[in-house]
Structure 1
Amino acid sequence: GAFLPVDRAFTLAGRGTVVTGTLLGGALAVGAALTVQPSGAATVVRGLQARGAARERVAAGERVAVNLRGIALEDIARGDVICTGGQGVTLCMDVWLTVSDTAPRPVKHMQDLRVLWGTAHEVATLRLMGGGQIAPGGAGLGQLRFKRPVVGFAGQAAVLRQLSPVATLAGAVILDPQATAVGAGDRRRLAVMQAAQQQDGTALAAALCAQGRGVALWSDLVRLARCDATAALPTGVVRLSPDHIALADDLATVQTAVVAALQRFHTDQPIKQGAALSMLQRVTPLRGLVPFAQTELVRGGEVVLRDGLVSLARHDPFAALAPQQLARLTEIEESMRAGGTSPPDVRQFDAPDDADLIALMVAQGRLVSLANIALKQQVVFHEATIGQAQRSLAASFPPPTAFTTSAARTALGTTRKFIVPLLEHLDALGMTLRDGDTRQIAPQAH
């Protein structure tokens, strides 16, 4: 987008605020919405003038005077930037610096320098990647840490000067104008900076993905590769979402790792319905990719996500039940069926496999787990009880007869602990219709 470092700001009678500078980045047109950085103030181009004539549009590289609407003179000054968006403020920039052959001394790690770029100049601390120093005539990668917010764009040139005595030490190119501060030994960030310096889109995407544990932001690649957001993806890169990218090979590797991990889980614990989602975060160093790989596997039908558990679609825990486990499952189910609308607390079934067997029956729909929010606990009914309860209520309160929760409790011979979640479940199924403190059986359910 357009990027105009302001070198003068003044007012003209009848026109308001005017700024001048050399336009960088992209073209600028009358009516364009702009942001003043680093303040973040919004403004609009009221008029443009270049080469002594009014213009509707000015190309990058030209000297321009911009008449701004909605901004007071005291809110803009030399060193500010007006831009069309995308250039956010920062306290840290990645740079490639080249130390002058005539520099009086080396540039050192943690040295405070005055940085000049555009029409701005600010003091920053230079952190050299790898530490140490760069001798006159040498070059290297570093981060500039500023004391207050600044703005720049990738590819913009800068000059680094010694504070005292004043001397020009190096030239620099901004690689990332919105960098993340890292330690001087951060190898992943160093790889990103090297790829940005070489302007290798494929290497840059790979380095960003490695830094993000398999995932990178498309906006980061666009900024560092100095390309447009509509640019084609580099070779071997896939779009995970409008905002995220990854390497195709990494995505395939993580999908394979997820499937293998689930297979191991099912082999080790065959009667469990599935594994906790947190387990998948441990199956690969590329953990940023796990949620996306999981989504792709679910979309492809290879993996199933249910009640916070993940499993292979082909896994059948019932087929894995040993005869004694199957007998125990039947015993628990019959006990829950016999309990009717006052079933036993499932926590009383505490043999080694009982929790898994109950979870299997809930997942299959043979048992129904409902929340009693007031008591902050789950109550579990046999699925046959739900239908029996509805039929009993329909017989006691044929529509349009209204009934209260208390009347339903009496009719079903149960307690408030059970009747409240049971009635709320019947409401959700459309079997009962609630109106304030009363309900009636839905006509179609009678």
Structure 2
Amino acid sequence: MHVRPLGAGFARLTSGVVLPWRVADRAILRDPGSRRLWSARVVDVDPLPLSRRGAAGRRAEALSTGDLSAVRLRSRGADREEVLGRLGLTAPAGAVRVGDWLVDGTTLADWQARLVAAVREHHRREPLSAGMPVAEAAHHLGLAAHLPPSLGQAAVRALIGPAGLALTDGTVHDPAAGGLGAAEASIAAVEEKLRVTPFVAPERGELADLGLGATELAAAARLGRLLRLPDDVVLLPDAPARAMRVLAGLEQPFTLSAARQALGTTRRAAVPLLEHLDGRGWTRRVDGSLREVVR
């Protein structure tokens, strides 16, 4: 058996065989050469490696507090409650449950601060992004070293509210962040055009000339500035309601051609707009070529 002193009153024992020790067990150590005896009390049966300079002294100082379960949890950041029980320990004060794991309160506060910093940095680097996916946030915080992937994501979700962040569609974001940045003027130009001709969607080339790609359009849609339809068709958010007022005045049922002419738009815009109305249940297909307004 190898003995490594940690500090006053503490030492780490390393045995070549597995011993059935539990926390608070008593042991007698004997030096076979000098036959000296020492009494010992077990305070940790599954210690972490002492890999950094000064780690032994810091470990002895931590153990001297006497709260062995708190020392163990703090050194790991998180641990299964069942494991603590098997070692003869109970959940320490300040521990937070995440699934069947216990997370040290100080560690959780550190994760929270780092999550806020990571999300804000994400918004700074990608101002048009919806935010940071939960899985990416868990990876960024290094939670895989403490918790299984699913519980790492559960921990992130538990941090979001207390951190003043928000979760939308699996994405963590700062409610104070937003705006369109450099795309603001281009989106405003599209809005102005659509106010004059609400169903004439800008062509792909027009959007490209304005510097509006998928990222910018997705951000505008997320902020409620534009309605994004398939095939790169963008309209104002009130376009469906305005279209319904026009379509309700047509002879029912009506064809795609009749709807397109009444709306004063192209087939490219009319098809996804009508399919959007179908999806909302505002219109429905009568057969392969006819639709009607649902009353």
Q: Fold-level match, TM-score > 0.5?
A: yes
Query: Using the alignment, how far apart are the partners of 1:273 and 1:369 within structure 2?
Result: 16
Match of 1:261 in 2: 118
Amino acid at match of 1:414: T
Amino acid at match of 2:131: A
1:253 Cα offset (Å): 0.8
1:234 Cα offset (Å): 2.7
Match of 2:277 in 1: 426
Alpha-carbon displacement from aligned partner over 1:32-66 (angstroms, at most 9, x marks no partner): xxxxxxxxxxxxxxxxxxxxxxxxxxxxxxxxxxx
Secondary structure (helix, strand or coil) at the match of 2:246 reads: helix
Match of 1:395 in 2: 249
Q: What is the number of residues matched between the two proteins?
A: 238
- Which runs of 5 or more residues in structure 1 are unaligned? 1-97, 99-137, 144-152, 156-174, 177-184, 372-376
What is the CA RMSD across the aligned residues, in angstroms?
A: 4.5
Match of 1:364 in 2: 223
Q: Which has the larger radius of gyration?
A: 1
- Which runs of 5 or more residues in structure 2 are unaligned? 2-12, 23-44, 52-58
Query: Using the alignment, how far apart are the partners of 2:211 and 2:282 within structure 1?
Result: 34
* Partners of 1:430 and 1:442 within 8 A in 2: yes
Secondary structure (helix, strand or coil) at the match of 1:235 reads: coil
Query: Using the alignment, how far apart are the partners of 1:204 and 1:225 within structure 2?
Result: 12
TM-score if structure 1 supplies the norm length?
A: 0.42
1:409 Cα offset (Å): 4.7
Match of 1:93 in 2: none
Cα distance, 1:408–1:361 mapped onto 2, change above 3 Å: same
Cα distance, 1:262–1:140 mapped onto 2, change above 3 Å: same
Aligned counterpart for 1:379 among listed residues 233, 240, 265: 233
Structure 1 or 2: larger helix share?
2
Query: Using the alignment, how far apart are the partners of 1:306 and 1:436 within structure 2?
Result: 38
Query: Using the alignment, how far apart are the partners of 1:335 and 1:382 within structure 2?
Result: 10
1:363 Cα offset (Å): 1.6
Secondary structure (helix, strand or coil) at the match of 1:396 reads: coil
Secondary structure (helix, strand or coil) at the match of 1:383 reads: coil
Match of 2:54 in 1: none
Alpha-carbon displacement from aligned partner over 1:138-194 (angstroms, at most 9, x marks no partner): 962678xxxxxxxxx998xxxxxxxxxxxxxxxxxxx89xxxxxxxx998xxx9xxx
Give % identity.
26
Cα distance, 1:332–1:410 mapped onto 2, change above 3 Å: closer
Structure 1 or 2: larger strand share?
1
Are 1:272 and 2:162 matched, yes or no?
no
* Partners of 1:403 and 1:439 within 8 A in 2: yes
TM-score if structure 2 supplies the norm length?
A: 0.59
* Partners of 1:302 and 1:314 within 8 A in 2: no
Match of 2:266 in 1: 414
**Residues 85-164 of structure 1 correspond to what in structure 2 (within 5 A)?**
140=15
* Partners of 1:204 and 1:221 within 8 A in 2: no
Cα distance, 1:245–1:440 mapped onto 2, change above 3 Å: farther
Query: Using the alignment, how far apart are the partners of 1:236 and 1:407 within structure 2?
Result: 68
Match of 2:161 in 1: 299
1:284 Cα offset (Å): 3.1
